[in-house]
């Protein structure tokens, strides 16, 4: 009997709690209310929408800037001067078909209007009035030309020199006489002796734009690959050398 009384006492709080469920807050929950709540929660955030619009506008501006930059680069590339094609002359010294093609192109120049020349070029010399292949050497101050049988003499009280101009073919050497401008002393790298060389002046033309009288020392260059060496005295203030190019300029037609 006492056990039954005890169980009844324990069950009273539980039964009292059940009598209050569902409460008012639970009884007001309906399906329509749930749908309305979901709709409100799914509405887009205005601040988020504004942020996305800003990102779209920024991307549009960047795309326009990139298009403008590409157009600017394309215009700059189109305005660059054409790079001359390097060729090697034929063995007999008559040049190649590429000489004719290069003659149709504009003379390459730098931004400060200096003519670009290759490490080797054709030069027209007067006298004797013919073309010879020349090696361009920025390490040499004075130009040099290959000559044999050099003889100094006087004519009408002035100093002259006679010599055989080496054209690269002994059968085609040209005998010349020219006023002696001066003598220079050259110390040979492999000898202690000092070589006293005569200096004469030739009228030199390289391409269509380089033309001036130039001093040359006379020396036997028969063991060299080129009979003519052009030094800085010819290049100064007029030309720059592209050592990666050869025979950029064709044989000039304006002699």
Classify residue 249: in a domain, yes or no: no
Do 103 and 178 belong together in one domain? yes
Structural domain includes residue 214: yes
Are residues 162 and 234 both part of a single domain?
yes
Cβ atoms < 10 Å from Cβ of 138: 14
What confidence tens digit (pLDDT) does each residue in 76-93 have? 666 665 554 344 444 344
pLDDT tens for each residue of 165-200: 988 776 788 999 999 999 988 766 555 667 789 999
Instruction: Tell whether 68 and 141 lie within a shared domain.
Output: no
Give the chain as a 3 state SS string. CHHHHHHHHHHHHHHHHHCCCCCHHHHCCCHHHHHHHHHHHCCCCHHHHHHHHHHHHHHHHHHHHHHHHHHHHHHHHHHCCCCCCCCCCCCCCCCCHHHHHHHCCCCCECCCCCEEEECEEEEEEECCCEEEEEEECCCCCCEEEEEEEEEEEEECCEEEEEEEECCCCHHHCEEEEEECCEEEEEECCCCCCEEEEEEEEEEEEECCCEEEEEEEEEECCCCCCCCEEECHHHHCCCEEEECCCCCCCCCCCCC
Looking up residue 233, the CATH number of its domain turns out to be: 2.40.70.10
Please report whether residue 212 resides in a domain.
yes
Regarding whether 210 and 115 lie in a shared domain, the answer is yes
- pLDDT, residue 85, reads 39
Question: What domain range includes position 168?
Answer: 97-242
Let me know whether 138 and 222 are in one domain. yes
**Counted domains in the chain:** 2
What would the pLDDT profile of 8-47 be if each residue is shown by its tens digit? 655 555 555 555 555 555 556 677 777 777 777 666 666 6
**Does residue 218 share a domain with residue 150?**
yes
> What is residue 109's predicted lDDT score, i.e. its pLDDT?
78
SS in 3 state form for 197-233?
A: EEEEEEEEEECCCEEEEEEEEEECCCCCCCCEEECHH
- What confidence score (pLDDT) does residue 66 get? 81
Does residue 138 belong to any structural domain of this protein? yes
Do 28 and 104 fall into the same domain? no
Residues 61 and 106 placed together within one structural domain of the fold: no
Measured distance CA(210)–CA(115) in Å, rounded: 8
Q: Which domain-ending residue is among 77, 109, 124? A: 77
In a shared domain, residues 67 and 148: no
- Answer yes or no: do 224 and 108 share one domain: yes
- Evaluate whether residue 254 is within a structural domain: no
61 and 184: one domain? no
pLDDT band at 209 (very low <50, low <70, confident <90, very high): confident
pLDDT digits (tens, 9 = 90+) for 109-132: 777 788 999 999 999 999 889 899
């Amino acid at each position: 009997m006492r056990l039954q009384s005890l169980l009844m006492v324990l069950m009273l709080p539980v039964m009292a709690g059940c009598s209050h469920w569902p409460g008012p807050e639970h009884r007001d929950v309906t399906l329509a209310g749930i749908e309305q709540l979901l709709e409100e929660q799914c509405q887009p955030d205005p601040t988020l929408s504004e942020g996305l619009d800003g990102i779209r506008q920024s991307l549009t501006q960047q795309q326009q800037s990139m298009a403008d930059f590409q157009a600017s680069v394309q215009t700059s590339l189109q305005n660059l001067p054409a790079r001359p094609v390097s060729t090697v002359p034929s063995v007999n010294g008559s040049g190649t078909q590429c000489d004719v093609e290069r003659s149709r192109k504009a003379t390459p120049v730098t931004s400060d209007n200096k003519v670009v020349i290759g490490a080797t070029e054709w030069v027209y010399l007067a006298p004797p009035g013919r073309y010879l292949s020349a090696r361009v050497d920025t390490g040499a101050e004075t130009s040099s030309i290959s000559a044999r049988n050099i003889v100094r003499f006087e004519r009408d009280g002035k100093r002259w020199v006679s010599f055989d101009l080496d054209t690269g073919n002994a059968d085609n050497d040209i005998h010349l006489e020219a006023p002696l401008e001066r003598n220079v002393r050259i110390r040979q790298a492999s000898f202690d002796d000092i070589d006293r060389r005569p200096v004469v002046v030739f009228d030199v033309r390289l391409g269509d734009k380089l033309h001036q009288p130039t001093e040359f020392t006379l020396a036997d260059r028969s063991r060299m690959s080129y009979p003519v060496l052009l030094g800085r005295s010819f290049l100064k203030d007029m030309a720059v050398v592209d050592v990666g190019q050869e025979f950029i300029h064709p044989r000039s037609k304006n002699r």
